[in-house]
Structure 1
Amino acid sequence: MNGTMGGVAAEPWTLREVEAAARARLDPVHYDYFAGGAGDEVTVRANEAAFARLGLLPRVLRGAGPADPAITLLGRPAALPVVIAPTAFHRLADPEGERATARAAAAAGTVMIVSMASTVAVEDVAAAAPGARLWFQLYLQPDADFTVRLARRAARAGCEALVVTADSPVFGRRERDLRNGFHDLPGHLRCENLRDDPGEGPGEGTGGERDDDRGGPVRPIVMDPRLSWADLDRLRAATGLPIVLKGVTHPADARLALEHGVAAIMVSNHGGRQLDTVPAAIDLLPDVAAATGGAVPVLLDGGVRRGTDVLKALALGATAVAVGRPVLWGLAAGGEAGVARVLALLRAEVEQALTLCGCASPAGLTPDLVRRTC
């Protein structure tokens, strides 16, 4: 990146520096929306702190040669074991929003998970980054027909998989947002995926709709505690897309997910934004990974801030990790170049850590390379 980012040198050397630059640029209310979590934010802090309690035990003189961080994910190659987690409202961070994020992801050769609450329509995200690997995140909606229409729309846009967030029967209590009175997007922004798809025909309106000069109603995202595994089955049958189940924290749910035909599992506590005091994602990973028996890829989402964090997760059973807030910090600090910098920093750190651990690739990482230090 050229120039400066919020008073910080244009080439930040850590994700912490990227976050500092982002905080200097963002509206404080919007920074709190991105950074905050539920309740006392115990889980938000735990996600990062738990990595510091794990050490890496490197092997020596293994003749591994230069490290290659590439992996295979859902049958296709990815240049590094880091994907972009689904996060809402990217245009709060940069006018290009999700378009800029997708271009950076494509250049880095990794997957971007487009949020249901994207401020750029999934079709426009795909058009902005030809060749990008896109997955699409959604919440199962009580209007099952709308859920299917949205999933099919994402498939037509080129999304390879659906990432179904399962940990949100209700919205978490995010007290920073309550104090700030942040309840909705500014008037010039919309969640563009929540318009009824004109390619499928308009759906019935629901409460909370809004219209703007682009036309078409915007639905609210509806959380419903009555939704169940049967709803997931109906979505899978109706679309045929691979389903990544996000928000799994209990090994019993991992086993149920296999019974219901998911293609991958994402261990996630929603970045601490739903139920506070859920343990750190990295602490939950080994039991969930063991419950799958290697039948499907397991991803980890939550607290990754260093390449060494990536290695710890992979050694403990993850195929890849997802990063959310660091991508938003990069976007706010420097747009597309800021996101590219975040991914480049993580790639460089992963390559160096792999080499120092005596591994030629992520496949060489094993649980014996991780030791709890406290």
Structure 2
Amino acid sequence: MSELNLFSAEQTSELLEMQDARRNFLRFLACSPLVSNATTLGSLAVLVGAIPAAALAQSYDVLRAQTRKVGDVIESPEDALNVMDFEPAAKKALPSAHFGYLATGVDGDDTLRANHEDYSKIRIKVSRLIDARKIDTSMHLLGAQYSSPIFLSPVSSQGAFHAEAEVAVARAAGAKKQHMILSTVGNSSLEDVNKAHGSPVWLQLYPTDDWKVTQALIKRAESNGVPALVLTVDRQGGRNTETLFRLRRLDDRTCVACHAGGFANEVSRKPMFSNIDVSHVTNLYGTGMSWDFVKKLRDSTKMKIFLKGIMTGDDAAKALQVGVDGIFVSNHGGRAEESLQSTIGVLPEVVKAVGGRIPVLVDGGVRRGTDVFKALALGATGVGIGRPYCWGLAAFGEPGVAAVLNILQREFETIMRQVGATSLKQITPTSVINDIAYAKR
């Protein structure tokens, strides 16, 4: 029996990581002009071997160095220092119209920017002398356990970013046991996504203006074991996506084959609508939904119902009254309306209205692990990302998505340790100072 077999699987993994860190450290030293001969290197090897692994992990970071030159745009997922590094790589990889679709907000993109910028108005309080070497980042949601509170929000038409579309995303999320929500108008089938993820994902729902189509979508979700429908309620008034329009002008490709007029053509490549009669559908988004529709949907299925797009405490209270199972604070990544209301800014108001009776999810503008921490501190159960994982998908496929998740999780775990929070329940409103003005009203 080898020495490694004496340890548990978790201990073995940690030991291998420690050994790998030592090897990398020695490899770095071997290339250094400070080490002039083999005798010196051998002595250092003995010294490094005697250093406790935890101490080495803490001190080694400052000695990390790129092994090759990296330009302005990263060429592999390993080159990324943060998730924002993936955006220029995605822009380089995509046709201008496709990147424009991913990048755009509405009007002047001010709400899009507010989503992220408002995170800088929240400060984190730290506590010292707490042993946080072992932390638990698992999220419990509707009876399921996920490895992280970071989940993948629904983004439509991911085939515009990569040939494997949502299947590549599902593989990356499933490998890390992270939660994922599939868009009604995704390019991969629910069946394929569930298989790639390893467990049923949630389905974001655009119900259309034909109730028979809505019923067919519900049936398809139920037959595939979907635990929850996420009804999007923020696309009722149309939108002015100026950034998309500007970048589309730079794209001289013929797009009629993919973007012909009429609803049937619009969803012809969307698997959720396969074998469903859509001849009576006139609109996917502006369907005139009301609270009565939410009640009707609630009564039509045993799946859990979340409302995505709630941005006020008043609407959250109404959602409770009609019996929904959860709230999703979202403004469609700043592409629903130019309200200048960030999702993190309104989150406390919604959480207060809900009063802990149902879970509250949030997305919009999350770019750092510290952003995740701040959202959890203000009451979110889970924190979604959209553009970042699509940047990774567009640039590098599944490895790019995995790298984005790795970076955000690493940053999140780092701030948890720095703060002294060893589990999600220890991240509370007292963990932050919220300077967003309209959050205090």
Candidates 213, 223, 228, aligned match of 2:286: 223
What is the DSSP-based 3-state SS (H/G/I as helix, E as strand, rest coil) of the residue aligned with 1:62? Answer: coil
Instruction: Give the alignment of 1:1-374 within 5 angstroms.
Output: 7-11=74-78, 12-129=80-197, 131-179=198-246, 180=248, 187=257, 190-196=268-274, 198=275, 202-203=276-277, 205-206=279-280, 221-224=284-287, 226-372=288-434
- Contact map agreement 1:102 1:132 (CA 8 A) in 2: no
Shift of 1:188: 5.7
Shift of 1:207: 6.2
Q: Greater RCO between the two (CA within 8 Å, min separation 6)?
A: 1
- Contact map agreement 2:170 2:196 (CA 8 A) in 1: yes
Structure 1 Cα separation of the partners of residues 220 and 340 of structure 2: 34
Quickly say closer, same or farther: Cα 1:188–1:106, change in 2 above 3 A: same
Shift of 1:331: 0.3
- Contact map agreement 2:83 2:388 (CA 8 A) in 1: yes
Deviations 1:226-254 (A, max 9, x none): 31111111112112100111100010100
Structure 2 Cα separation of the partners of residues 74 and 139 of structure 1: 22
Shift of 1:222: 4.1
1:216 aligns to what? none
Question: What amino acid maps onto 1:171 in structure 2?
Answer: G
Q: Give me the TM-score of the superposition, normalised by structure 1.
A: 0.89
- Contact map agreement 1:148 1:239 (CA 8 A) in 2: no
- Contact map agreement 1:111 1:133 (CA 8 A) in 2: no
Larger Rg: 2
Question: What amino acid maps onto 1:223 in structure 2?
Answer: G
- Contact map agreement 1:148 1:235 (CA 8 A) in 2: no
Question: What amino acid maps onto 2:121 in structure 1?
Answer: R
Quickly say closer, same or farther: Cα 1:204–1:192, change in 2 above 3 A: closer
What is the DSSP-based 3-state SS (H/G/I as helix, E as strand, rest coil) of the residue aligned with 1:151? Answer: helix
2:38 aligns to what? none
- Contact map agreement 1:99 1:125 (CA 8 A) in 2: yes
- Contact map agreement 2:329 2:361 (CA 8 A) in 1: yes
- Contact map agreement 1:123 1:154 (CA 8 A) in 2: no
What is the DSSP-based 3-state SS (H/G/I as helix, E as strand, rest coil) of the residue aligned with 2:361? Answer: strand
- Contact map agreement 1:116 1:137 (CA 8 A) in 2: yes
- Contact map agreement 2:236 2:285 (CA 8 A) in 1: no
What is the DSSP-based 3-state SS (H/G/I as helix, E as strand, rest coil) of the residue aligned with 1:155? Answer: helix
- Contact map agreement 1:120 1:191 (CA 8 A) in 2: no
Q: Give me the TM-score of the superposition, normalised by structure 2.
A: 0.76
Structure 1 Cα separation of the partners of residues 384 and 394 of structure 2: 18
What is the DSSP-based 3-state SS (H/G/I as helix, E as strand, rest coil) of the residue aligned with 1:322? Answer: strand
What is the DSSP-based 3-state SS (H/G/I as helix, E as strand, rest coil) of the residue aligned with 1:117? Answer: coil
Shift of 1:186: 6.4
Structure 1 Cα separation of the partners of residues 319 and 269 of structure 2: 29
Question: What amino acid maps onto 1:159 in structure 2?
Answer: V
2:47 aligns to what? none
1:214 aligns to what? none
Aligned residue pairs total 354
- Contact map agreement 1:106 1:133 (CA 8 A) in 2: no
Shift of 1:278: 3.5
What is the DSSP-based 3-state SS (H/G/I as helix, E as strand, rest coil) of the residue aligned with 1:271? Answer: coil
What is the DSSP-based 3-state SS (H/G/I as helix, E as strand, rest coil) of the residue aligned with 2:163? Answer: coil
Between structures 1 and 2, the one with greater helix share: 2
Question: What amino acid maps onto 1:175 in structure 2?
Answer: E
What is the DSSP-based 3-state SS (H/G/I as helix, E as strand, rest coil) of the residue aligned with 1:8? Answer: coil
Shift of 1:10: 3.5
- Contact map agreement 2:172 2:399 (CA 8 A) in 1: yes
Question: What amino acid maps onto 1:106 in structure 2?
Answer: G
- Contact map agreement 1:98 1:125 (CA 8 A) in 2: yes
Shift of 1:7: 4.4
- Contact map agreement 1:69 1:362 (CA 8 A) in 2: yes
Quickly say closer, same or farther: Cα 1:194–1:278, change in 2 above 3 A: farther
Deviations 1:7-36 (A, max 9, x none): 434311200111121111111111111011
Deviations 1:331-352 (A, max 9, x none): 0111011111111111111111
Quickly say closer, same or farther: Cα 1:249–1:112, change in 2 above 3 A: same
Structure 1 Cα separation of the partners of residues 422 and 321 of structure 2: 34
Q: Which runs of 5+ in 1 are unaligned?
A: 209-219
Structure 2 Cα separation of the partners of residues 335 and 204 of structure 1: 32
Structure 2 Cα separation of the partners of residues 186 and 362 of structure 1: 48
- Contact map agreement 1:111 1:132 (CA 8 A) in 2: no
Deviations 1:297-321 (A, max 9, x none): 1111100000000000000000111
Quickly say closer, same or farther: Cα 1:251–1:98, change in 2 above 3 A: same
Structure 1 Cα separation of the partners of residues 348 and 150 of structure 2: 18
Structure 2 Cα separation of the partners of residues 160 and 327 of structure 1: 23
Structure 1 Cα separation of the partners of residues 302 and 141 of structure 2: 18
Structure 1 Cα separation of the partners of residues 230 and 413 of structure 2: 28
Deviations 1:97-127 (A, max 9, x none): 0110111110111111100110122222223
Structure 2 Cα separation of the partners of residues 318 and 271 of structure 1: 17
